[in-house]
Structure 1
C-alpha cells in the first residue's frame, strides 16, 4: 500500500518558492493591447470595452481534454467582518479543473482525486472514476478553432461563478439570503496577469438580498448589497518528482489529503492520509547538509506598518533554524513583498495583514496539489487588531506608562514579541504543521505551534516579565520539520521517520492537537490553550497571584493619557479573567487521561488516568476560583468602572465587556458570574461527569462524580456566615451551579448513572438550601433555588429560562 500511495499522482512543481520575479515579470499583462493575445500558461485575450476574457486552450486529446490546471479562487477584497469567512486574502477550495471539448462547447469539471485505483488496470481505474462524481461547473461555446487545433472560448462565465460560495457563507453567518447580481458584477480586466506557470484573473462580484442581516450595517453603508473582489488563479499542475509522505499520527503534521484506494490489497487500509509539505530539494542529494535548489520564501504584505513588518519578518525567519538543523541550508526565509506585486499572485507565499471590524482569528493555510499533498503556495492571514489586545493585557497588568520604556514589562515591546510568535505560528501551519497544545508543558515551552500566554511570574508584590515569551522555534518544532522535510542519504525515509517519532516520544514530547483540546469536555489532561507550566495546578496558583497583584493596583494608570475612562471596562476583562485559561487547564485534570496518538508497537498505546491525588488537588484549585475573595473587586475599582462612553457605540469595545444587569453602572455580580462560568463550563461538561463515573468503577480510590458534586455543593451552598459583600458573591456562584444542574438534568448527554447522580445531587443540594440561614436576601435566594431543584421538572425549565447556562464570557484571549 505504501508504494502505491507514494506513486499515486507523484508529481511536483517548484512554484511557490520561486525566486523573486523581476519588475518586468511582475508587470500586469493587461499593459498589452486589449485585443492582443498574451501567451503564458495558456493564451489570454482581453476585451476591456466589453469586460470579457477569452482564453486559448491547447488542441484536445483523444478524450477531448484541452487542459488540466490547479484552480484556486480567493478574495482580493473582503467583507471585513469576523466570523463570515470572507476576509481579504481568504482562499476557497483548491481543485483540479479539467477543460474538455464536446461538440462545439467547452465544459469545465472539477476532478475527484480522492477516490482512486492505484497501480490498477484501466478497467478498475475507470470503475472508480465512474463511481464518484466529478461535477461539471460551467460550459461555454467554442468561439474559434485554430489551425493547430487550439480552442478559443470566452471564460467570463466561469470567472463570474460564485467560486468562493459567498452566498453560502453569508447565510451561515446569518447575514441574510443573498443571490448573485450579474448586472452589478464584472470582470476586472485591469487585474489580469499572465505568466508561464500561472494566470491570474479578478472579478468584482455583487450579491443582493431583500432581507439582509442587520449585522451587515456594522461594515457596509448599504446592507442589501455585498460586493467582493474574487481572485482566480490557474496554476500549472506540478510535474513529476515530488515524493508524497504518508501521514503519521505522531508526527505533528496536519494531514489534509485523504486517499481512498479501491485497489488496495486486503491486508492494507483502503484510506490513507498524505502529509502536506513543500517540495524541498538539496543541490547535493548525497550530502547530509546542503543548500537547496529553490528555497521556501514567504513575503510579508506591504499593507503591514513598518514596525510590524519587522516583527513578522524576524519571527517568520525563526523557521530557518529548524530547516538548517534538518540539513537544508538557506532553505527558508521571509522577506517584504516586492513593490508592485499582487499579494494574491499564486507565485508568492504571502503573509497578509488583514483588517476586520473586530479582532479575530489569524490563519495559516496552503494551496495543495490534491493528488499528492504538495504545497504550491502558502497563505497566512494575520488579523491587524490582535496586537492591540496583547498590548492592552500588558497595560492592564503593569500600567500604560510602561509603554515605550524598552523594559522587560514594556507593553509595546511585548506586543511586538507576540507578533513574532504569531508570524512563526501561522507560517508553521502553512508549512504543513499542526497545533501542539501540550508543548507548553515541557522543555521550556517547546513549540511556537502552541498558543502562548505571556508567562508572568509573581515575585512577592512584583511582576516578573523576563520569561514572558520565548525566542525562536522550539524543540518540538525542530523535530516536526525534520520529520516532514528532512532526509538522510542512504536511509529508508519511512524507517527514518518512524525512528524520529519514536525518539520524540522517548524524550517525553507530548503532542495534543485541536480535536483533543478545543471541546470543553475534552479529557486529554495535557491539551489546553493559553496555559503555562509543566504542573498546571501549581501554575494556577501563580496565575491567581499575578491577578491579585494587578487588581490591587488597577485604575486609571492602566489607560494611556487622554483615553476615555470608560475604556477601563474593556481593560478589566482580561485582567479579572486572567486565570481563565489556566483554570481550563486545571479542569482537564479532573477525570483526565493522558493518551497519545500512538501506533502499534511504539509503547504508547495505553491511556493512563491522572493520579487520584492530582485530580483532587485540581478540584480544590477550582474551588478556590469560586471563593468570594477571588471573585471580589476593590470598591475603588468598581467605582471607576462605572464611567461610560458617550456618542455612537464601538463594536470592538461592546463585545469585549461584561454584560451587566444594572443599566449603565458596572455590575460586579455579572463579572463574577462570568468567572464562575469559566470553572463550571469545564468541570461540569457531560463528558467529564461520565468519565468520573467510569474511572471510579475501575478504581474505587479515584475521584468520583458524587465526591465532585458534593464538594461543589459545600463551597457554594449555605455554610459559615459571610459578611454581606462576600455573601452576594457566594450566591452568584450558587446560582450558576444550580443553572448547570438544571441544564444537565434536562440534557441528553449523560449516561444513566451520571444522570441519576446529578439528579440526586440536585435534590440533595435543594434540600440543603431549604435549611439556609441568614438575612432575607440569603434565605430568599435559597428558597427560590430549592423549589426549582426539588420540585417538578417544570421548575427546572423555569430556572433554565431565568438563569440560562450559557452565561456570557467576554472573548478575553489574545486571538
Structure 2
C-alpha cells in the first residue's frame, strides 16, 4: 500500500480510481484476509466532500474575497515541516498553511501538560488526550474534525456507503480561511486562534470537576509558547490562563501563590500516521493482557463477534528474519530526561532493559535501548519523536509513576510513549512517613483523605467492593475528565505510597536501618527499577496482570536464587507490595529484579514475527501460544477481574501463591512494629508526630491484609481459559482454606486480644501542629481515636463477610459443588462468626467475664447486621435471612443464661447484655418490611 493509495483512501475518491483502490486494499498483504479492512470506511465526511467539490468549481471567485497571501504572512518567520507555519513574534499570530492533499487526511494530535500546578492531578507531563484529527474545508472555513473510526467496513462493501451518515464525526473547531495561495492553492488559517482562544483539550470544564470550583479560560491573556516544525511532525505549545473570574467558590490551592488564577501550558504534537511501513496489525486474545484498538465491523454479518480487536504494540522487525535471535532494524529507544537525578539513572535504566529478556523469547536481541538526554539538548521531551522518562515535581500527588503511550487508532501501532515519575517518590520512601498516612488534615483507612479528591470515592469502592458501611464518610463522586489517564489506575498508584512506605517503616522499626544506609539505597533502587519496569510494560502495550504476584510460595519469596532466576512474580504488571520477610527469616529482595514468565509469554504473543501474509493467517500461531494460559504461572487477571472481589488471587498489593500465609505474616509484622513503637520514645527535642504517622500507617497496612484474607470466604478462582486449555473458568476455593481464613480473621480481627496497646503508646500519638500554607493540622479528633479506628476496621471486615454478594456466592457454591465435595456452607459461616464475636456468652466452656468496650461495639454491630437481614433491610438470600433469625434466637438464649449468672460481671457488661437481649426481642417480634 503506497502513498498514492493512502491518499485515495483518505480522500474517499470513488470515481475512476475507486476500483484501483479497492483492488490494492484487497491485494495488500497488510489487509488481505482480515475480517474487514483495518482502514476505517469513512475517513472523510460526505458533507465535507460535497462542499469541497462546490468550492473547487467556484474557487477563482472565492479567492478574490481573501487577503493576499503574501500580505498576511509578511514579516512572519516561516517554519517549514509537516505543515508550514508562519509565526509573527511581535503580535503572537501563528498561521498554518494546509496543502490541498492534506485536507480530509488523518493526523494524530497528542496533548500533554507541559506545565502544571503540582496538585489535583495537574502535573507536568500528564497526558491529556490523543485524538485522530482531520482538516476539512467547508465553504470559507476550515474545520478541525475527529473522524469516527469506531465503525468500519471493507472498502467497496455496499454497507460502507451508509456508515458516514449513520455515525457522526465530531467537529471540534471551525475557523475562517485567512488566505489562499494563488499558485499552490494552499489554505491559510489562524492557528493561534485554534490553540489559544479555544479550549481544544477541554480543560476548563474539567477544572470544575477536579478542583471543586469553576475556572474560566482567559483567551486575552493566553499565548503561544514553543513553535517548531519537522518533516513528520509539528510541535506547538499554548499557555492558557485560567481565572476564577471573581467566583466566590474559588478553591484553596496550596501549591499556588494566589488561588484565583494560574497558568497551564499544553504541548501539542501533530504528526502523520505511518503509511506503507510494513506494520501488520495483530489480532488480540483475551487470555493475554494487551490494550486493544477495537472497531465494529459491518462487513460480515455471519461473524459471532462484530468487533475486530488489534493489540497495541510497537513496530519491530528483525534485521535478519531467518535468525532465531536477531537485533531489530530499529530498537525501541527510551531517553532518560536530564531532570532525573544522576544517582537514580542506573536504577531507571535497569528497569527499562529488564524487558530485553522477554523480547529474547520473541526472537529479538536488545529490542530496547536507553539513552541519556544531554543537559544541553535542544529538543523538548514532549516531542512525539522521543520516548522519554520524565521527572515531575508535585505537591500532593504520590502517584509514583505513569506510563501512557500514543497509538495509531486505525491499526494499534504504538507511535510514542512517555513515562512520568513523581520526583518526590524517593523522599516519600526515605523520610516523610507522614506523607503516607496523613494526606491533609485527617486520617482514613480507605481512600484519600480529602473529600473532594477524585480518588476518595474511587478507592473506597475498590477496597470495599460494594460492602455497605453505615455512616462511613463518603466523598462526592468526582469524575476524572481526561481520557489520557484511567482514574482507578491513578488512584491505586496514589494508594501505593502507603504500601511502599511500609518497607521503609519496617526497616526502621524491625531492623533499625536508618534512612541513609546502604540497605536503604538497595531498597530505593530496587523499588525504582520495579516501578520503571511496570510502566515500561504499559508502554509496550501490556495491561495490568493482578494475578502476577502468585508465582512463588511464601517461603520462597526471600530465596535470592529463586527471585533472581525464576522471578519473584510471574508479572511485574501487578501492583506488588514490598516483600517483607517475617520475623526470623533473612530478608531477600524487596521488589522484583527480573520480569516473570507471564511477561515473557505475553511479549512472545505480541511481538514474535510469523511467516504469514496477514493478521488472520497469524491466528493459528497465536492460538498455539495463547493456549498455554492454563499453566499456573501464566494466569492473567486484569483490572475488571479484581472489581468483583471473587478471586483472592486476582488482587492488588498481595504476594505469593498462598496469600493466607503471606497476609498472616504481614499481620504479625504489623504487631511486631507496634511492639517496637511501644518501646520507642522520640529523642529529647523531637516531635511525637512521627509516632502517630507510623502507628497509623501500620494500622492501615493491618486493615488491608485483613481485607485480603476475607476474599477467601466464598471465593472462587477465575481464569480466562478457553475450552481445551486444561481447566474450567471457575473453581471454588477449598473449604479448608475458607475455614482457615475465618479462623485467621477471628484471631487477628475479632478476638478480644487482637488489639492490645499500652497507655504509654496511645498517649504518645500526638499529631503535627504546623499550620501554614500547604499543611493544616488535625483539629478533630486531636487525640488518636483508637476505639473508633478498631471498630471501623472490625465493622468493615464483618460487613464484608456478611455482604449480600458474598452470602449469595456461598449459597450458590453448594449448587456448584461436585457430589461429595466439602463446602463452607452458610450455617457454618454464621456459627463461626457468632462463636468468635460472642465468645463470652456463646462458648459454654468459657467462664463468665467482663466484656470490653471494643468487644461490646463489635457485638452490637454483629447483632445490627443480623437484625437488618431479619427485617429485610438487606437484600440477602432467604436462607441467610432464616439463619440470621435462627442465630439471633440462639444468641438470645445464651444471653439469658449469662445474665442469670451475672453476679460477678461489671455494670457495662450487664447493661450491654440486657440491651442486646431487648433489641433482639423487638426485632424478632417486629413486622417485616416489604421489598
Indicate the TM-score class for this superposition, using the shorter chain for normalisation.
0.7 to 0.9
Question: In the alignment, which residue of structure 1 is the partner of 2:347?
Answer: 311
Equivalent residues of 2:767, 2:782 under 8 A apart: yes
Say if 1:690 and 1:167 are closer, same or farther in 2 by CA, change over 3 A. farther
Question: In the alignment, which residue of structure 2 is the partner of 1:813?
Answer: none
> Where does 1:647-666 land on structure 2 (aligned, <5 Å)?
647-648=770-771, 663-666=781-784
After TM superposition, the structure 1 stretch with the greater mean CA deviation from structure 2, 424-433 or 583-592, is 583-592
Tell me by how many angstroms 1:429 deviates: 1.0
Tell me by how many angstroms 1:52 deviates: 2.1
Tell me by how many angstroms 1:337 deviates: 3.0
> Structure 2 stretches of 5 or more lacking a match?
1-30, 42-72, 431-500, 553-567, 841-845, 900-904
Say if 1:103 and 1:330 are closer, same or farther in 2 by CA, change over 3 A. same
Question: In the alignment, which residue of structure 1 is the partner of 2:393?
Answer: 355
CA deviations on 1:688-732 (whole Å, 9 max, x unpaired) are 2221121134449421334323322322236157987x8233234
Question: In the alignment, which residue of structure 2 is the partner of 1:433?
Answer: 542
Tell me by how many angstroms 1:740 deviates: 5.7
CA deviations on 1:454-491 (whole Å, 9 max, x unpaired) are 2222244xx63214222111111111111111125579
Tell me by how many angstroms 1:371 deviates: 0.8
CA deviations on 1:652-684 (whole Å, 9 max, x unpaired) are 897xxxx997x4222321332343256336434
Say if 1:243 and 1:751 are closer, same or farther in 2 by CA, change over 3 A. farther
Measure the CA separation in 2 of the matches of 1:649 and 1:556: 32
**Which residue of 360, 364, 384 maps to 1:346?**
384
Measure the CA separation in 1 of the matches of 2:146 and 2:720: 34
Calculate the TM-score normalised by the size of structure 1: 0.84
Equivalent residues of 1:583, 1:678 under 8 A apart: no
**Which residue of 242, 245, 258 maps to 2:282?**
245
Tell me by how many angstroms 1:97 deviates: 0.7
- Report the 3-state secondary structure (helix = DSSP H, G, I; strand = E; otherwise coil) of the residue aligned with 2:881: helix
Tell me by how many angstroms 1:637 deviates: 2.3
- Report the 3-state secondary structure (helix = DSSP H, G, I; strand = E; otherwise coil) of the residue aligned with 1:93: strand
Tell me by how many angstroms 1:506 deviates: 3.3
Question: In the alignment, which residue of structure 1 is the partner of 2:527?
Answer: 418
1:503 aligns with 2:628: yes
Tell me by how many angstroms 1:648 deviates: 0.9
Question: In the alignment, which residue of structure 2 is the partner of 1:811?
Answer: none
Say if 1:104 and 1:512 are closer, same or farther in 2 by CA, change over 3 A. same
**Which residue of 164, 187, 198 maps to 1:129?**
164
Question: In the alignment, which residue of structure 1 is the partner of 2:336?
Answer: 300
Structure showing greater radius of gyration is 2
Equivalent residues of 2:217, 2:243 under 8 A apart: yes
Equivalent residues of 1:686, 1:744 under 8 A apart: no
**Which residue of 202, 211, 217 maps to 1:180?**
217
Say if 1:304 and 1:745 are closer, same or farther in 2 by CA, change over 3 A. farther
Equivalent residues of 1:669, 1:732 under 8 A apart: no
> Where does 1:146-157 land on structure 2 (aligned, <5 Å)?
146=181, 147-157=183-193
Equivalent residues of 1:282, 1:328 under 8 A apart: yes
1:692 aligns with 2:815: no
- Report the 3-state secondary structure (helix = DSSP H, G, I; strand = E; otherwise coil) of the residue aligned with 1:432: coil
Equivalent residues of 1:315, 1:419 under 8 A apart: yes
- Report the 3-state secondary structure (helix = DSSP H, G, I; strand = E; otherwise coil) of the residue aligned with 2:253: helix
Question: In the alignment, which residue of structure 2 is the partner of 1:87?
Answer: 123
**Which residue of 65, 72, 85 maps to 1:44?**
85
CA deviations on 1:612-662 (whole Å, 9 max, x unpaired) are 122111121122221233322233322322x332321686897xxxx997x
Tell me by how many angstroms 1:296 deviates: 0.8
Say if 1:364 and 1:786 are closer, same or farther in 2 by CA, change over 3 A. farther
Equivalent residues of 2:40, 2:149 under 8 A apart: no
Question: In the alignment, which residue of structure 1 is the partner of 2:62?
Answer: none
1:367 aligns with 2:489: no
Measure the CA separation in 2 of the matches of 1:120 and 1:747: 60
Equivalent residues of 1:525, 1:589 under 8 A apart: yes
Measure the CA separation in 2 of the matches of 1:746 and 1:355: 54
CA deviations on 1:327-357 (whole Å, 9 max, x unpaired) are 1122102333343332211112222223333
Calculate the TM-score normalised by the size of structure 2: 0.74
Measure the CA separation in 2 of the matches of 1:649 and 1:746: 50
Equivalent residues of 2:867, 2:923 under 8 A apart: no
Measure the CA separation in 1 of the matches of 2:101 and 2:596: 52
Tell me by how many angstroms 1:98 deviates: 0.6
Question: In the alignment, which residue of structure 2 is the partner of 1:403?
Answer: 514
Question: In the alignment, which residue of structure 2 is the partner of 1:705?
Answer: 826
Question: In the alignment, which residue of structure 1 is the partner of 2:482?
Answer: none
1:470 aligns with 2:592: yes
After TM superposition, the structure 1 stretch with the greater mean CA deviation from structure 2, 551-560 or 534-543, is 551-560
Measure the CA separation in 1 of the matches of 2:847 and 2:247: 56
Question: In the alignment, which residue of structure 2 is the partner of 1:76?
Answer: 114
Equivalent residues of 2:250, 2:260 under 8 A apart: no
Tell me by how many angstroms 1:742 deviates: 7.3
Question: In the alignment, which residue of structure 2 is the partner of 1:449?
Answer: 573
Equivalent residues of 1:769, 1:785 under 8 A apart: no
Tell me by how many angstroms 1:376 deviates: 0.7
1:485 aligns with 2:596: no
Say if 1:689 and 1:357 are closer, same or farther in 2 by CA, change over 3 A. farther
Question: In the alignment, which residue of structure 2 is the partner of 1:233?
Answer: 269
After TM superposition, the structure 1 stretch with the greater mean CA deviation from structure 2, 310-319 or 37-46, is 310-319
> Structure 1 stretches of 5 or more lacking a match?
12-31, 797-815
CA deviations on 1:530-555 (whole Å, 9 max, x unpaired) are 11221111223322222232222125
Question: In the alignment, which residue of structure 2 is the partner of 1:26?
Answer: none
Say if 1:213 and 1:690 are closer, same or farther in 2 by CA, change over 3 A. farther
1:393 aligns with 2:432: no
Measure the CA separation in 1 of the matches of 2:862 and 2:424: 35
Equivalent residues of 1:359, 1:384 under 8 A apart: no
Question: In the alignment, which residue of structure 2 is the partner of 1:27?
Answer: none
Say if 1:650 and 1:525 are closer, same or farther in 2 by CA, change over 3 A. farther
Question: In the alignment, which residue of structure 2 is the partner of 1:17?
Answer: none
**Which residue of 831, 835, 853 maps to 1:728?**
853
Say if 1:731 and 1:473 are closer, same or farther in 2 by CA, change over 3 A. same
- Report the 3-state secondary structure (helix = DSSP H, G, I; strand = E; otherwise coil) of the residue aligned with 1:290: coil
Measure the CA separation in 2 of the matches of 1:6 and 1:746: 57
Tell me by how many angstroms 1:43 deviates: 0.5
Say if 1:176 and 1:564 are closer, same or farther in 2 by CA, change over 3 A. same
1:714 aligns with 2:835: yes
Say if 1:149 and 1:766 are closer, same or farther in 2 by CA, change over 3 A. farther
Question: In the alignment, which residue of structure 2 is the partner of 1:35?
Answer: 76
Equivalent residues of 2:111, 2:130 under 8 A apart: yes
After TM superposition, the structure 1 stretch with the greater mean CA deviation from structure 2, 548-557 or 419-428, is 548-557
Measure the CA separation in 1 of the matches of 2:85 and 2:424: 40
Superposition RMSD on alpha carbons, in Å? Answer: 3.5
- Report the 3-state secondary structure (helix = DSSP H, G, I; strand = E; otherwise coil) of the residue aligned with 2:677: coil
Say if 1:758 and 1:468 are closer, same or farther in 2 by CA, change over 3 A. farther
Question: In the alignment, which residue of structure 2 is the partner of 1:140?
Answer: 175
Tell me by how many angstroms 1:141 deviates: 1.4
**Which residue of 75, 94, 114 maps to 1:53?**
94
Equivalent residues of 2:37, 2:152 under 8 A apart: no
Measure the CA separation in 1 of the matches of 2:640 and 2:339: 34
Measure the CA separation in 1 of the matches of 2:118 and 2:409: 29
Say if 1:489 and 1:634 are closer, same or farther in 2 by CA, change over 3 A. farther
Measure the CA separation in 2 of the matches of 1:365 and 1:458: 36
Tell me by how many angstroms 1:599 deviates: 2.7
Equivalent residues of 1:718, 1:768 under 8 A apart: no
Measure the CA separation in 2 of the matches of 1:289 and 1:67: 38
CA deviations on 1:391-413 (whole Å, 9 max, x unpaired) are 44234223275136756xx3342
**Which residue of 617, 625, 633 maps to 2:740?**
617
Measure the CA separation in 1 of the matches of 2:580 and 2:627: 34
Tell me by how many angstroms 1:218 deviates: 2.9
Tell me by how many angstroms 1:69 deviates: 0.8
Equivalent residues of 1:285, 1:489 under 8 A apart: no
Measure the CA separation in 2 of the matches of 1:769 and 1:201: 76
Say if 1:721 and 1:354 are closer, same or farther in 2 by CA, change over 3 A. farther
